[in-house]
A and B are shown apart, each in its own frame.
Chain A
Amino acid sequence: MLGKLRFILWGLVLVAAAALAFLLTSPARLPAPRETELPLASIGGPFTLVGADGRTFSSAKLAGKPFAIFFGFTHCPDVCPTTLARLARLRRQLGQGDEAFAIVFVSVDPERDGPAEVGAYAKLFDTPVIGLTGSVAQIKQVKKQYAVFSAKAPQAGGDYSVDHTGSVFLIDRAGKFVATLAPDENDAVALEKLKRIVG
């Protein structure tokens, strides 16, 4: 009788061990890799886009200069102008002039944003902002380099908005990615980060 009970108990232990082993190794437990995730060191790199004058804009024009690059779209009435206005304000607060770092705006909506649209949008801020667009393929490529996500979101009346990465990427003089600026972090933290690319 006692031997039979012991046999049953050992059986239960084996079942529990097998269940645990299954849970630990099951692929469902592993976090799904995100397509846009890149190692931080590889963010950025040379790109070729189209400037507000309709001509090719090569990132070589930014060589030796720190820059803050933001991806948005000109139909965006809230987050994008808020972010660009903030970058303009932070650059003023830094007190080293417009040459301290470049502010670069890249459209993730190349179907609606041509050179004229990004040019007019970039001019709004009373301070130099480089507005860029490109072919669908060029925009796709630069988004990949910066691990930027964007997707069309249909709106009432057949129009669409674009969901997109809201962070600003800070690139230093050597072209190296240093940090991101999040929309909700305070200006003191943002200024410290900017000093790291300007210094």
Chain B
Amino acid sequence: MRISLMLIAAAPLASCAPTAPQIEVRDAWARATAPGQPSGAIYATIVNRGSADRLVGVASDAGTAMLHSSDSADGVARMRMLSELPVPASGEVALAPGGTHIMLTGLKAPLTAGSDIGLTLRFAETGPRSVRVAVVAPGAR
């Protein structure tokens, strides 16, 4: 009897505060690269409808993938590796040109417009999420 009362009391709490992240990776894209160019970048939007999570790893079949940030503080463009990226509860994180992105190095072949490549994002709570990345003409967006 006592246990069932406690369950009834806890039920409303569980329904308003999400207890797990709900991650969706949208609109993953990359610019085509030149023959011989060893590196490229992948952009995407991470949408989370649940509790906070962290992006802790990235992998691609096209080359070695790393999470990077670009910034242009005081007029100088700098690119640095990030070990992880927080994904806030009920929020979005944009991986976009000139900001945080996934860098590909050691490309096995040039990225060609119209093709697609594989990408797996590994989240601390959610685990791996795999998506296809659309390769577009470099001037397209």
- A81–B31 contact, CB under 8 A? yes
Pick the interface stretch among B85-93, B97-105, B121-129. B97-105
Which B residues between 23 and 81 are near A, CB-CB below 8 angstroms?
31-41, 66, 68, 70, 72, 75-81
User: Does B18 make an interface contact (CB < 8 A)?
Assistant: no
Q: Cβ of B137 < 8 Å from any Cβ of A? A: yes
Q: Is A195 an interface residue (CB 8 A)?
A: no
A99 at interface, CB cutoff 8 A? no
Residue from B34, B75, B81, B103 in contact with A167 in the complex, judged by beta carbons closer than 8 Å: B75
Q: Is A78's CB under 8 angstroms from B34's CB?
A: no
Whether, in the assembled complex, A57 has its beta carbon less than 8 Å from a beta carbon of chain B, the answer is: no
B135 to chain A, nearest CB (A): 12
Please judge, given known A-B contacts A78-B98, A124-B32, A183-B72, whether A153 and B78 are in contact too, CB under 8 Å: yes
Residues of A within 8 A of B12 (CB): none
B65 → A minimal CB distance (Å): 11
B114 within 8 A of A: no
How many residues of A are in contact with the other chain, CB < 8 A? 36
Q: How far is the CB of A109 from chain B (nearest CB, A)?
A: 12
Report if A82-B98 is in contact (Cβ < 8 Å); known contacts: A77-B103, A166-B76.
yes
Main secondary structure, interface of A, reads mixed
Identify the stretch in A1-9, A14-22, A113-121, A134-142 within 8 Å (CB) of chain B at 4 or more residues.
A113-121
Q: Which of B127-141 contact A (CB under 8 A)?
A: 137-141
Within 8 A of B (CB), among A136-190: 149, 153, 155-157, 159, 161, 163-167, 182-184
Cβ contact within 8 Å between B37 and A120 = yes
Q: Please determine whether B35 and A166 come into contact, CB atoms closer than 8 angstroms.
A: no
Q: What are the residues of chain A within 8 A of B32 when measuring CB–CB?
A: 124
B77 touches A163 (CB 8 A): yes
Given contacts A75-B39, A78-B41, A89-B139, could you give 9 more A-B pairs where the C-beta distance is less than 8 Å?
Answer: A117-B37, A120-B37, A126-B137, A126-B138, A153-B79, A156-B81, A163-B76, A167-B75, A183-B98
A interface residues with partner B (beta carbon < 8 Å): 74-79, 81-82, 84-85, 88-89, 116-117, 120-121, 123-127, 149, 153, 155-157, 159, 161, 163-167, 182-184
